[in-house]
Amino acid sequence: MSKFIPNKNSSISSQLNSGTSKALEPESISRSNPHKSNAQHKSNAQQNQNRQPHLLLLKRCRKGTEQTFGRLKSFSSKLFERLGGSKQLYHHYWFWLGLGVTGGAIALGWGAYALEKSLPDSTTDVLTYIRDDTITIKASDGKIIQQTGSATRETLKIWEIPEPLIQAFIAIEDRRFEKHHGVDFQGVIRAAIANLMARDIVEGGSTITQQLARIVYFDQERSFVRKLKEMRMAQKIEHDLDKEQVIERYLNLVYLGSGAYGIADAAWVYFSKPISELTLPEMAMLAGLPPAPSVYSPFVNEKAAKNRRDLVLERMQQNGQITEAQMEEAIATPLNTKRSNPKRLEREAYYFTEYVQQELPKYVPQETLGKKGLIVETTLNLDWQHAAEAAIDKTIKNNGRYQRFGQAALVAIDPRNGQIKAMVGGKDFQDLESNNYLNRVTQTKRQPGSTFKTFVYTAAISAGISPNRGYLDAPYIVDGYEPKNYSDNFRGWTSIRQALIKSINVVALKSLIDIGWEPTIEIAKKMGIESKLYSTYSLALGASEVNLLELTSAYGTLAAQGVHTKPHGIERILDHQGNVIYQEQIQHRRALDEETAAITTWMLRGVVSSGTGRAARIGRPVAGKTGTTDEARDLWFIGYIPQLVAGVWLGNDDNKPTRGSSGTAASTWRRFMVEAIEDLETEPFPQRPNKIEGREAVIKAKPIRPKRVIHKKYPKSKSATKSRSNYRRTASTSTRRRRRRVSTPRKTTKPVSRQVRQNRAPRQSAPVRRRTAPRNTAPRQSAPVRRTAPKPAPVAPKPAVVPAPRVTSPSKPSPVVAPPAPPAARKAPAPTTKVPATPPEAPASRAGE
C-alpha cells in the first residue's frame, strides 16, 4: 500500500492539479510547507487562482451577496422606523390587513393547486362515457340487442338532432351557451336574482357544460367543493371540445325521467315516436325536464309539465328562435303523451342474451363486471335468430296442440368456428307461468333417442367396419335387455347403413356390443358431448341424457370434416373506452379422421334423402338424424350442411308423452334452414372414399362380452315376411313403390314371383350372400347325426333355418339345430338367473325414428 501514499512534495502538486476544494488555498500550503518564504506562498496562491478561475468567481459572488443583504437590512430598518415611529409594527391595522391578504392569497393558491390536482388530466371520458353497472350486448352486425343498467340505448349524432330541440334546451338551460367558456358568471348572478324574486327555482345557474361535467365526473352531492370542481372541469371541457361536441354529448346523456336517458329514449318513452317526428310543443316539454324530471313529468303532474313547457316556449320566443304566433299555437296544444317502456329495457333474443350474461363471469372477473359500461360483442346473426323464433312459434301453434307438446328449442352453430348463430330456448321467454326463463338449449338434459346412434356407427366406421356390414334385425335379448324397433317389425339381415337410415334399434345395439362402450363414449366425447355417458346397453338408443347445445355441436364435428370447435356466443368484451378485455381464441381439435367423417356424413345423407328425415329436405345436400324416445316424450332432429348445423327439440317440461313424431322436428328444422340458406351458397359435402371395405382401423374396438344372449325365433308373421322381402330389395323409394303395385296375396304362383323378381332393382348382394350361406350348410350339419341313429325314429321336424351368426356374438349355437338327445341322456335344464353385466337397464326401449 506504500505506493498509494504520496510524499510531501507530490501531495501539493497533486492537489493543485486535481482542482479539489480548499487544498489549494495559500494557508493550507503554508501549513504544509512552513519552511517556504512568504513570497513563495503568494506566488503559489496566484498560480492556483490562475489555474482555477471558478474559485475566484465563487468568492466574488459570495462577497456580493453579503453586500446586497446588508443594504436590504439597512433599508428595511430605516423604513420601519419611518412608518412605525415609536409604535411596534403589529400595532398598525395595515400590518394585519396585509398579513390577511397575503395569507388569503397563499391559501387560495394552495386550494387552486389542490383542486387542479384532484381533477382528471384528460377530458376524453366525455366522448366515451357510459354509466356504471352498464352492459351492452351487441349482435354480430353491431346492433344492440340488450342493455342493462342506466344506459342510453340510442345515441344520436349532432346532425340527427332537430335544430328546434337544441334551441329549446339552450333557451331554458343555458341561454349564453354560445358565449361563455364553461362557466357563466353573469348567468349565476341572473339566476340567483330570478329565483329570489320568484321565490322558486325558475332558472339554474349551471351551464350545459357544467351539467355535462357533473354527469360524467361527479355525483349528485350538493357541496361547495363539488361545485368548484364542476366549474373548473367545465372550463377544461370547453378548452378541449367544441360547442357541438358538448351539446351532442349532453343531449345523449341527460336523464329525462321515467327511465329515459338521452333525448332519443325520452321521445320514445313520452311520445312513442322517433325524435325526427317530434313537434315543437313536444320538444319544448322534453327540454323542460332536466332540472326536476320527477316533478315536471307529465306522467306524474300534467299541470306542472304543461306550465314548464310553456315557459320553455316563452324563452324561445324571447330569444328570437320562434315567432309569437308559433309560441301561441304551441301553448294551445295539449301534451298528447303516449307512454312506452324505455328502449334500454327492450331486447331481442331473450334466451341468447341470458346465456351470454351467464357466460360473462367465466371470462371477466366480478369486480370488472361492476365497472363502467362493458360492451359484449356476440356471434348472433339477427336474421337467423328471427327465422328460428318464427319457426318455433309456427310449430307450437300448428302442431303443439294436437301432438300434445308445449315446448320447443332450436340452436344453430357455424361448425367451422363454433359460433352460435341462433338460439331459441322456449316458446315465449316472457310467459312466466310456463317457466320460460328456463333455457332448454343449455339448461335441460333429455334423452337423445336415436340421434345417439350416429356416435355408435361413427365409432364402428372408425374401427374399420364397413357400412355394408350386415346384422340380423330380429328379436334379441342380451343380459335381460331387449330392444324393440319403433314399428315393432323386424327386417332381417340389414347393413348398418340401412339400419341408420331406417333407425333400427336392434342393429344399433349389436353394433355397440361389437365396438364396445369405451370406444363409443370416447368418440362421442371427442365430437363434443360433455355430459356423462353411462356404459349400459341402452346407450346405443340414447338413454344417457344430453343437452341440445352439445348434441348439435357434436354433429357439427361431422360437418367440419372431423374437426371439433367448442361452441361459444361471445366474440369480444370491451370496456367503455374500447379497450379489449377478452378476445375469443378459437381452438380447433381433430376428433375424427376425414374418411370416417365423410363416410358417416354419406350415411346420414341417406336418412334425409330416403329415411326417417325426409321432412328436412331443402333442395341441397343435407345430412342429419331423427330421434324419438319412449312414448314420444322427446322429438329430435339434428341436421347440417357444410356451413351450418342446427338442432331442434320438441317435448314437454314435465316429461309427459306426446303424440308427435320426429318428423315434426325435421319440419321445424327445414322451416328455419330455408330462411337461413338464402345467404349461403350451396357447398358440396366431401366425397365418400372409394374404399369402404377393409379400411384400416383408426381406433381399437373393445367388444362387450355379455353373460347371456337369447336369439329369439325369427317371426314369420306377414309383416316379418314383408320385412325380409324388403331387405332383399333395394332401399330406394321408387323400387318400394313398384313393389306395392305388383303385390298380391301370399298364395301367388311362381310366375308372379318371377315377375316380381324381374321388376326388382339390382340388389346389394353382399348381405344376401352372407344370409344364404348358413341355409346351405345347416342340413349338412345335422345329416350325419340322423344316419347314426340305431333305429329308425319318427321323422323329426325339419330344423329351423338359422341365419348366419353375427360375427361378434358370443352366444352358443341354438339347440334347435342339433337333434334332440335320447330321453335317458337328457338332463334337466339348470335354472338360469339374469345377471346383468352393467347397471340395470331401462325397460325394453321402443325409441326409434
Q: Give the residue ranges of the chain where pLDDT is below 70.
A: 1-58, 69, 72-73, 75-96, 99, 112-118, 152, 195, 199-204, 220-222, 370-372, 430-436, 714-849
Residues 110 and 145 in one domain: no
Catalytic residue among 258, 297, 450, 809: 450
As a dihedral over the C-alpha atoms of residue 313, residue 319, residue 320, residue 322, rounded to 10 degrees, the angle is -20
In a domain, 436, yes or no: yes
**Helix, strand, or coil (residue 261):** strand
Residues 131, 115: one domain?
no
* Final residue of a structural domain among 119, 138, 166: 119
Q: Which pTM does this prediction carry? A: 0.69
Domain count within the chain: 4
- Based on the fold, state whether residues 129 and 96 are members of the same structural domain: no
Q: Is 450 a catalytic residue?
A: yes
**Does the residue 25 lie in any domain?**
yes
The residue among 706, 691, 698, 729 whose CA lies nearest residue 806 is 706
Closest CA to 480 of 846, 832, 848, 810: 832
- Domain membership of residue 131 (yes or no) is yes
- DSSP secondary structure of 572-633: EEE-TT--EEEE----EEE-S-HHHHHHHHHHHHHHHHHSTTGGG--SS--EEEEEE-GGG-
Residue 803 cell numbers, joined = 341365419
Do 265 and 306 belong to one domain? yes
Asked if residue 610 belongs to a domain, the reply is yes
Residues 660 and 640 in one domain: yes
Q: Which residue in 154, 173, 230, 354 is the catalytic one?
A: 173
Q: Long-range contacts: 364-371, Cβ < 8 Å, 24+?
A: 364/573, 364/581, 364/582, 368/581, 369/135, 370/132, 370/133, 371/132, 371/575
Give the domain-ending residue among 643, 664, 679.
Answer: 679
Query: Is there a single domain that holds both residue 304 and residue 318?
Result: yes
Enclosing H/E stretch for 493 = strand 492-495
Residue 641 C-alpha cell reads as 350442411
The predicted pLDDT at position 743 comes to 40
pLDDT score for 592: 97
Cα separation, 137 vs 148, whole angstroms: 9
**Cβ–Cβ < 8 Å for 834, 480:** yes
Task: Report d(CA 298, CA 293) in Å as an integer.
Answer: 9
Look at residue 70 and tell me if it is in a domain.
no
Rounded to the nearest angstrom, the gap between the alpha carbon of residue 495 and the centroid of all alpha carbons in its chain is 42
171 and 304, same domain (yes or no)? yes
pLDDT in tens, 320-350: 999 999 999 999 999 989 998 887 777 889 9
Indicate if 108 and 142 belong to the same structural domain.
no
- Taking the C-alpha atoms of residue 436 and residue 407, their distance in angstroms, rounded to an integer, is 9
Domain boundary among the residues 638, 659, 679 is at: 679
- In this structure, are 413 and 543 located in the same domain? yes
Please indicate, yes or no, whether residues 161 and 300 belong to a single structural domain of this protein.
yes
In the numeric block, the cell 397575503 is attached to: 102
526, part of any domain: yes
Q: How large is the angle between the packed helices 38-51 and 8-18, nearest 10 degrees?
A: 30
Domain check: are 442 and 574 in the same one?
yes
Q: List the CATH number of the domain containing 538.
A: 3.40.710.10
Which residues, at least 6 apart from 210, have a Cβ–Cβ distance to it below 8 Å?
182, 183, 230, 231, 234
Residue 495: enclosing H or E segment and its boundaries? Answer: strand 492-495
315/432 same-domain check: no
Rounded to a whole number of angstroms, the distance between the first and last alpha carbons of the chain is 103
Euclidean distance between CA atoms 541 and 488, whole angstroms: 15
27: domain range?
Answer: 2-51
- Residue 64 located in a structural domain: no
Would you call 173 a catalytic residue per the annotation?
A: yes
Residue 474's pLDDT is what?
93
Q: DSSP letters of 797-840?
A: PPPPPPPPPPTT--PPPPTTTSPPPPGGG--PPPP-----SSSP
pLDDT at res. 33: 46
Q: Could you tell me where the beta strands, DSSP code E, fall in 612-700?
A: 623-628, 634-641, 644-651
The whole-angstrom separation of Cα 169 and Cα 164 is: 9
> pLDDT at position 28, please?
39
Answer yes or no: is 816 within a domain: no
Q: What CATH number is attached to the domain comprising 295? A: 1.10.3810.10
Three-state DSSP class for 228? helix
What pLDDT does 373 receive?
Answer: 77
Q: What is the 3-state secondary structure (H, E, C) of 546-566?
A: ECHHHHHHHHHHHHCCCEEEC
Q: What percentage of the chain carries pLDDT values higher than 90? A: 50
